């Protein structure tokens, strides 16, 4: 059965961020993820996480000025120092939460420019080699161009080719089903082919990015497929609830009940 992680940047936004850990635990989640923790002290984030008996599945390295459209530094040749600083900024939060993987965002850059490709490879190598010293994986995520126009990493084949070519033991693929369906489709066959490279999975409905129920994808089938494939990582619920978060958790209730039964 998949291990679901509530995304606290999108879910339970009815309450302040630090209170969302308790809300997720009360709803039956035993893991969480979020985009960025950097507006809060690392110890405060870790305390809320552990107080509620939760596991931290993932968070992102600092991306720059999000409000001004920055989405990371890795593929931007003139921003290598900012990339290195973002890794150092994340380490206290990794220590406080016990997270095992961090997402390196590529940034807004043209992948047809060889300088940007070289910058991305350099940043991936440096980040992976730095994080392995802390027993951390780095994941890279293709993002669809509809949600983030001009994002450098918007192709799953490019991402998997790079991972296979670089052969870094702690470099993994972040497979967001929502992005995969929009960019390429063929989700099930891609999961089967790419599973050896996958370090984290995320879900949302397509095209709305709401609860993973209905619309284009048969999520119960995909959840069973993850079991068939032997996936043991986390499935991040990176979706925007249509209304109050708890009102939209009907899709999750069978899995929460199964977990409760297993604990009993």
Catalytic residue flag (residue 216):
no
Contacts made by residues 183-190, CB under 8 angstroms, sequence distance 24+: 183/142, 183/144, 183/145, 183/154, 183/155, 183/156, 184/156, 187/217, 187/222, 188/221, 188/222, 188/225, 190/156
pLDDT at 261 > cutoff 50: no
Mean pLDDT of 188-210: 98
Closest CA to 237 of 34, 1, 54: 34
- Token pair 């530094």: residue: 73
Cβ-based neighbours of 196, under 8 Å, separated by 6 or more: none
Of 33, 82, 211, 238, which residue is the catalytic one? 238
Catalytic residue flag (residue 33):
no
d(CA 220, CA 48): 31
Of 33, 82, 141, 211, which residue is the catalytic one? 141
What is residue 255's predicted lDDT score, i.e. its pLDDT?
Answer: 87
Mean pLDDT of 240-244: 98
Averaged confidence pLDDT in the chain: 96
What is residue 34's predicted lDDT score, i.e. its pLDDT?
Answer: 98
pLDDT at 264 > cutoff 90: no
Convert the pLDDT of each residue in 5-27 to its tens digit: 999 999 999 999 999 999 999 99
Q: Domains of the chain, with CATH numbers?
A: 3-263 (3.20.20.150)
Go through 28-54 and write b for each residue having 16 or more CB atoms within 10 A of its CB, e for each that does not: bbbbbbbbbbbeeebeebbebbeebeb
Mean pLDDT of 185-196: 98
Six-digit token pair at 170?
Answer: 């702690």
If pLDDT is split at 50, 70 and 90, which confidence band does 262 have? very low
């Amino acid at each position: 059965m998949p291990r679901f992680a509530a995304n606290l940047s999108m879910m339970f936004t009815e309450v302040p961020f630090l209170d969302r850990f308790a809300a997720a635990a009360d709803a039956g989640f035993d893991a969480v993820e979020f985009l960025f923790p950097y507006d809060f002290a690392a110890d405060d984030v870790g305390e809320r996480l552990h107080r509620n008996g939760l596991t931290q599945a993932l968070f992102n390295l600092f991306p720059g000025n999000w409000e001004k459209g920055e989405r990371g530094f890795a593929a931007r040749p003139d921003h290598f120092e900012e990339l290195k600083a973002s890794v150092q900024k994340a380490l206290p939060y990794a220590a406080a939460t016990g997270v095992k993987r961090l997402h390196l965002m590529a940034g807004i850059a043209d992948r047809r420019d060889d300088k940007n490709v070289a910058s991305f490879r350099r940043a991936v190598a440096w980040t992976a080699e730095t994080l392995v010293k802390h027993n951390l994986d780095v994941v890279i995520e293709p993002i669809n161009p509809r949600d983030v126009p001009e994002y450098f990493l918007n192709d799953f084949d490019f991402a998997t080719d790079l991972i296979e070519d670089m052969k870094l033991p702690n470099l993994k693929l972040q497979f967001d089903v929502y992005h995969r369906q929009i960019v390429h489709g063929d989700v099930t066959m891609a999961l089967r082919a790419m599973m050896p490279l996958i370090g984290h999975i995320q879900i949302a409905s397509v095209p709305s990015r709401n609860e993973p129920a209905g619309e284009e994808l048969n999520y119960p089938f995909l959840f069973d497929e993850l079991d068939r494939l032997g996936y043991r990582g986390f499935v991040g619920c990176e979706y925007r609830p249509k209304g109050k978060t708890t009102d939209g958790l009907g899709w999750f209730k069978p899995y929460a009940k199964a977990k409760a039964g297993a604990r009993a």
